[in-house]
Amino acid sequence: MSQGIEFNRLMLDMRAMQMDAMSQSKTVAAVPQMAGNSFSEMLGSAINKVNDTQQASSQLSTAFEIGKSGVDLTDVMIAKEKAGVSFQALTQVRNKLVQAYQDISQMPV
């Protein structure tokens, strides 16, 4: 029974993240040039969000380990998975940026 509850919670979290991503992409598509937001600022913001996700996961894990009341193992596992997925996504973006830089630097002038 608890696996069904964990799966449902995970699915709800994934759907919420999908809705957030879809609403953000619509906002970006509607406003092609955002005032004051350069690429470096957006990348820095993304890195900070990943860092915040990892720190929150670590704090939740620590709270569970010391036995703090109100901290559920499923919440800890979901937070750890979110942190892992966000870090993997950031790593893939970094890899694509490095590859693009290398491709551009190898172009004849």
Model pTM? Answer: 0.60
Is pLDDT larger for residue 97 or for residue 7? 97
The fraction of the chain above a pLDDT of 90, given in percent, is: 50
45-75 burial code (b ≥16 CB/10 A, e <16)? eeeeebeebbeebeebbeebeeeeeebeeeb
The fraction of the chain above a pLDDT of 70, given in percent, is: 76
Domain residue spans of the chain: 39-105
Indicate the average pLDDT of the chain. 82
